[in-house]
Amino acid sequence: MGKEWTVHNPGGSRRVIVTKQLPGNRWLDILVAADCTVEVCESDDVLSVDEITERIGDHCDGAIGQLTEDWNADLFAALKAAGGSAYSNYAVGYNNVDVAGATASGIPVGNTPGVLTETTAEMAAALTLSAGRRVVEADRFMRAGNYHGWLPTMYMGQRFHGKTVGIIGCGRIGAAYGRMMVEGFKMNLVYFDLYANENLEAFVKDYSELLVAHGEAPVTATRLDTIEDVMRTADVVSIHTVLDESTHHLVNAERLALMKDDAILINSSRGPVVDEVALVEHCKTHPEFKAGLDVFEDEPAMKPGLNELDNVTIVPHIASATTWTRQGMATLAAANVAGILQGHPLWTGDDVLPFLDGDFPPYAPSIVNAADLGIN
Ligand code: DGY
């Protein structure tokens, strides 16, 4: 059965399709101000390539799509053939987008960096605490009416203070998470990344001096040579890489085996970065080990056995789900599409906050294939 679509600003001179309802109004105001008719799919189902192609039809100027959709080369060719010239993912990640295919069709691809950083890091921290302190397990125990009185040995978990947090992929979100764990729990930090994160290292050094000046133990931030070194050293390992061929199953059985028996693994990046079958096996055979997962290899499905494990805390890909962030993502996605359609230049600042309030800056905030398409 065909999906229902709501049409906003039917008299617009441009046509933009949006494959899911988005939060807030600012994104819609941006597109309407750019004289776009905006068609929004009302269904919660994931749209197939065929369904999106059908909706693009023979005239469509731009599209905002979702990380759950397969934006492949055929889809960009269809958008191009319909006269389209702008696409934005409603996400900072774009592993669902064939960027080379889009570039081949001359279509700029937008994403939404800069509004997910702290929010996603906060969820990674929440998963860390939930897993380490067994919050969800204990909640289930209470609800089942099993609490019959305080006991010295009940639901003992991990203490974070002074331990070591490990980060794989120390970009914006990884570094924000690292800072939270260092500042909040005075953890030492180790990380693996192809590039040194000098800002983070300098911050931790300064913070350490502050702690020492107040009579507390120092903290350190150290870039390690290999992923294996991080897995071996850290008490908590949090994954913050992109998903591509080089990171697929980056956490596999061999690397899990290097981790401490009572370590904690957190993944809020992309599911396939962790070999989920290997993780299920590892959690079964290492009851003291804990995992906190926001993302899954075959999302929305889970690998068999995952949902039976008490030592795993699982949430449905909600790391970016705060009202501010999700509205900000909508604003940036709309500004990408509206900016390109109106021929605006690319925003060069790191800070995207000017897009979120007041007058809309006449720029496209983030276009991942801008250099290849000669957009500046
Ligand atoms: C993203 O934007 O890539 C996130 O996964 C959405 O939560």
**Segment 112-133, tens digit of pLDDT:** 999 999 999 999 999 999 999 9
| pLDDT of res. 329 | 98
State the closest ligand 1 atom to the C-alpha of 295, by its place in the atom list counted from 1: 5
Q: Tell whether the model's pLDDT for residue 47 goes beyond 90.
A: yes
| pLDDT of res. 182 | 98
Which CATH class, in words, describes the domain spanning 5-115+322-373?
alpha beta
Q: What is the mean pLDDT of residues 59-80?
A: 98
Q: Encode the chain in three state secondary structure.
A: CCCCEEEECCCCCEEEEECCCCCCCHHHHHHHHCCEEEEEECCCCCCCHHHHHHHHCCCCCEEEECCCCCECHHHHHHHHHCCCCEEEECCCCCCCECHHHHHHCCCCEECCCCCCHHHHHHHHHHHHHHHHCCHHHHHHHHHCCCCCCCCCCCCCCCCCCCCEEEEECCCHHHHHHHHHHHHHHCCEEEEECCCCCHHHHHHHHHHHHHHHHCCCCCCCEEECCCHHHHHHHCCEEEECCCCCCCCCCCECHHHHHHCCCCCEEEECCCHHHECHHHHHHHHHHCCCCEEEECCCCECCECCCCHHHCCCEEECCCCCCCCHHHHHHHHHHHHHHHHHHHCCCCECCCCCCHHHCCCCCCCCECCECCHHHHCCC
| pLDDT of res. 2 | 87
| pLDDT of res. 1 | 65
**Same fold for the domain at 5-115+322-373 and the one at 117-314?**
yes
Compute CA 352 distance to the chain's CA centroid, rounded to the nearest angstrom.
Answer: 17
Banded model confidence at residue 210, pLDDT cuts 50, 70, 90: very high
Q: How many angstroms separate the alpha carbon of residue 152 from the centre of ligand 1?
A: 41
Known catalytic membership, residue 317: yes
Q: Measuring from atom 1 of ligand 1, which residue has the nearest CA?
A: 91
> Mutual orientation of helices 172-185 and 198-213 as an angle, nearest 10°?
10
Known catalytic membership, residue 270: yes
Percent of the chain with pLDDT over 70: 100
Using alpha carbons, select from 240, 22, 250, 29 the residue that is nearest to residue 116: 240
The pTM for the full model equals 0.97
Q: How many angstroms separate the alpha carbon of residue 52 from the centre of ligand 1?
A: 21
Cα–Cα dist 242/269, whole Å? 7
What's at 355, amino acid-wise?
A: F
Per-residue pLDDT tens over the stretch 198-208: 999 999 999 99
Q: What is the mean pLDDT of residues 129-138?
A: 98
Give the alpha-carbon dihedral of 359, 363, 368, 371, to 10 degrees. -170
Q: How many angstroms separate the alpha carbon of residue 297 from the centre of ligand 1?
A: 15
The full set of domain ranges for the chain reads 5-115+322-373, 117-314
Q: Measure the CA angle with vertex 322, ends 320 and 323; round to 5°.
A: 130
Q: How many angstroms separate the alpha carbon of residue 300 from the centre of ligand 1?
A: 14
Q: Measuring from atom 3 of ligand 1, which residue has the nearest CA?
A: 93
Per-residue pLDDT tens over the stretch 274-312: 999 999 999 999 999 999 999 999 999 999 999 999 999
| pLDDT of res. 350 | 86
Topology (CATH level 3) of domain 117-314? Rossmann fold (3.40.50)
Q: Measure the CA angle with vertex 334, ends 332 and 338; round to 5°.
A: 115
Best residue among 22, 64, 66, 92 to mutate for probing ligand 1's pocket (most ligand atoms within 8 Å of CB) is: 92
Please provide the distance, in angstroms rounded to a whole number, between the alpha carbons at the two ends of the chain. 42
Q: How many angstroms separate the alpha carbon of residue 201 from the centre of ligand 1?
A: 26
Best residue among 68, 69, 94, 116 to mutate for probing ligand 1's pocket (most ligand atoms within 8 Å of CB) is: 116
Ligand 1: lining residues by beta carbon, under 6 Å: 67, 91-93, 116, 317, 319-320
Cα–Cα dist 202/299, whole Å? 37
Per-residue pLDDT tens over the stretch 215-263: 999 999 999 999 999 999 999 999 999 999 999 999 999 999 999 999 9
* Cβ-based neighbours of 127, under 8 Å, separated by 6 or more: 266, 268, 292, 293, 294, 313, 315
Catalytic residue among 137, 183, 281, 299: 299
Compute CA 117 distance to the chain's CA centroid, rounded to the nearest angstrom.
Answer: 8
